[in-house]
Amino acid sequence: MKKYETKKITFNVFRFNSEKDHLPYYIKYDMEVSQDEVVLDILNRIKWEFDGSFSYRRSCRHGICGSCAIKVNGKPVLSCKENVFHLVEIFGEELTLDPQDEKRAIKDMVIDKKNFWEKYSSVKPYLITDIAEHPEKENLISPKEADALDEADYCIQCGNCFYACPSVKANEDYIGPAALLKAFRFNADSRDNAKDERLDIINEEGAGVWDCVKCFECAEACPKDLSPISKITKLHNQIFEESKAKNNVATRHAVGFKSSIKKHGILDEGELVRYSEGNIGVLKHLPEAYEMWKKGKIVMPWNMPKSKNMDEIKKLVDIASTVDF
Amino acid sequence: MSKIKYALYTGCTAKESTPELLKSTLAVAEALDIELVQLEEASCCGASHLQDFDDFLSLTLNARNICYAEKLGLTMVTICNTCQLNTSLTKDRLDSDNALKDKVNSKLKEIGLEYKGNVEIKHFLYAIIDDIGVEEIAKRVTKPLKNINIAPFYGCHNIRPSKLQSKNNGNENPYVPDSIERLIDALGGNAIDYEHKNKCCGFHVELQAPKTANKLSGDAMSDAMDNNADVVVTPCPLCHLRLDVQQHNISKEIGRDIQMPVLHLPQMIGLALGLAPEDLGLEHNVSEITFV
């Protein structure tokens, strides 16, 4: 029989009480941890064995309520799902436990998630449809229609993707990956009638999909493996498919690639910036353009290289295009 | 041992705004006895923007690029993290969905090509680590990067999504990547550990959200400076375009004077292998290279 393993592990734990502390601090707890324990067991043991005032959120302990999300060595985890030995394999035998967002800590692991829920509510995350007051049959959808949700309905609103998103940190107006995933989930639902309305919300410059930095932190952070960024891509696609795209720098930036590829195969970088920004907007890039030109980093239009076999590329652009702008 | 040979997908920036990347890649490959066959037929990967507009078109164009590596029967090697993302994502989607592969192939057939899915796609960083190894690279070092504090900046798309890239990057963990550190050690340099080494530079929103882009780049550069880095090194030309070229805008946004040389990964390797600065295109770097 295989030996039941235990390990001595040091947990470096974020402590803060917003009612009396000026600054957060860390306390070290040494524990003998067994191979089956998850991070939530550790949180419980800190409270039960070391300090009854230690605070954290927990509820279902089955990976479905989303309450117990925290960070271990910067990695967003759902405490009740994350095996401690697995984390030791990645980070070694000293683990640092932090709340999802240190700046929003109320007490220890408990944070104020108001910003998450506000963004979440802003996309109308519910089914909007006309249903008879006294329906005579169930409002079913087919397996194929259910597949269109791409498992986005499995989101448990834990907030890991939201608090891991660098764009959310840099821009407090950005709706963020969780709410965008939810917008996709209802837009993809064949029973829903509010796609248009939601697309207007998530198409806003500065708040909507165009502020996604494409870093894939959300895909790593999601305990349900839902890849919020792939849903954000699908929302981008919906904006163009439903002819909701506004003529702005973000949309032109996406569209500009097509004409450049058709013309040169490779991207004409200078022309893409000019096309995206417009003839006046492009002027703000002159300082760096000048520095780049001095260093031989700007290809002049007459020297623009082309891919070989341009006829193939042109033909593919013609026959494989599926959307217009 | 037979000579290592790869199909090189240069991407666009290496032929335009970062000529030093192509130059240094070719020089380092030669020094390491690697033969690179450039995929001159390849088009732009869409840079994660074309697929926002037209996913199927982007998929088909990327599949065509891969076809040319397949024709050569060689591993496709990328030198841009975002090229790596888009080509390997295309491969993954086509290899796991026959209906989609057939749909793409019906278009490729009209230009006489067929996507098969029989070559690997790897970034140059991981190709040389896998096929040559850091120990062997260490043996070729003639000018160790002694006493130089080097901050690795990984760039997102080589390490995330890990589900996609782990098979191409030797199972690098996105939260604690260490391949560039291992390479820096082999080159005799001093690798700096800092929190932002695996974070985003903001390149993809540079035009529509410059504030966000400058804040993210600023966080990374400040962190590298606070940890006494002499130089930042990155395997991604898009990260380089931000961290090297945009230092004046980053400084303005974060209210701190950011001045730091930023090298492309092959430039760093080349210096340690004793290659001349002009063979590595150092004259093209915008930030001043103070330590050579």
Structure tokens at A249: 């720098």
> Which of the listed CATH numbers 3.40.50.300, 3.40.30.10, 3.40.50.11810, 3.60.21.10 matches domain B134-284?
3.40.50.11810
Q: Which of helix, strand or coil describes residue A98?
A: strand
Quote the pLDDT of residue A3.
84
Quote the pLDDT of residue A1.
65
DSSP bridge partners of A279: none
- Whether B41 and chain A come into contact, CB under 8 Å, resolves to yes
- Whether A220 and chain B come into contact, CB under 8 Å, resolves to yes
What DSSP letter does each residue of A7-56 carry, written as one string?
A: EEEEEEEEE-BTTT-SS-EEEEEEEEEETT-BHHHHHHHIIIII-TT---
Q: What is the pLDDT of residues A89-147, one digit of tens each?
A: 999 999 999 999 999 999 999 999 999 999 999 999 999 998 888 989 888 899 999 99
Q: Around Cβ B268, how many Cβ atoms within 10 Å? A: 27
Residues contacting B101, CB < 8 A, separation 6+: B94, B95, B115, B117
- Whether B212 and chain A come into contact, CB under 8 Å, resolves to yes
**B57: which chain A residues are within 8 Å (Cβ-Cβ)?**
258, 316-317, 320-322
Residue B109, CA distances (Å) to A111, A129, B185, B238, B255 in order = 55, 44, 48, 33, 55
What DSSP letter does each residue of A282-302 carry, written as one string?
A: GGGGHHHHHHHHHTT----GG
- Low-confidence stretches of chain A (pLDDT < 50) are none
Structure tokens at A307: 């891919």
Residues contacting A121, CB < 8 A, separation 6+: none
When the pLDDT of each residue in chain A is averaged and rounded to a whole number, the result is 96
User: Which CATH number does B4-123 carry?
Assistant: 1.20.1050.140
Quote the pLDDT of residue B291.
76
Nearest to B32 by CA among B122, B129, B169: B129
Contact A261 B53 (CB under 8 A): no
Q: Order of strands across the sheet with A6-15?
A: A25-34, A6-15, A94-98, A69-72, A75-78
Q: Are strands B34-38 and A25-34 parallel, antiparallel or unpaired?
A: unpaired
Nearest to A316 among B60, B200, B245 (CB): B60
Q: Which of helix, strand or coil describes residue A77?
A: strand
Cα separation, B174 vs B197, in Å, equals 10
Quote the pLDDT of residue A325.
85
Residue with tokens 């590298």: B224
Angle at A315 between CA B16 and CA A306, to 5 degrees: 20
**A273: which chain B residues are within 8 Å (Cβ-Cβ)?**
207
Q: Where are the domains of chain B?
A: 4-123, 134-284
Calculate how close chain A gets to B1, using CA atoms only, in Å. Answer: 33
**A237: which chain B residues are within 8 Å (Cβ-Cβ)?**
52-53, 55
Q: Provide the chain B residues 134-193 that lie in CB contact (below 8 A) with chain A.
A: 156-157, 160-163, 173-176
pLDDT tens sequence for chain B (292 residues): 578 999 999 999 999 999 999 999 999 999 999 999 999 999 999 999 999 999 999 999 999 999 999 999 999 999 999 999 999 999 999 999 999 999 999 999 999 999 999 999 999 999 999 999 999 999 999 999 999 999 999 999 999 999 999 999 999 999 999 999 999 999 999 999 999 999 999 999 999 999 999 999 999 999 999 999 999 999 999 999 999 999 999 999 999 999 999 999 999 999 999 999 999 999 999 999 987 7
Cβ–Cβ < 8 Å for A79, A90: no
Buried b (16+ CB within 10 A) or exposed e, A75-85: bbbbbbbbbbb
- Whether A65 and chain B come into contact, CB under 8 Å, resolves to no
Quote the pLDDT of residue A140.
86
Cβ–Cβ < 8 Å for A209, A232: yes
Contact A170 B156 (CB under 8 A): no
Quote the pLDDT of residue B101.
98
Residue B130, CA distances (Å) to A52, B86, B88, B124, B134 in order = 50, 21, 17, 10, 9
Domains and CATH numbers, chain A: 7-111 (3.10.20.30), 114-132+139-202+212-241 (1.10.1060.10), 249-320 (no CATH)
Cα separation, B253 vs B268, in Å, equals 28
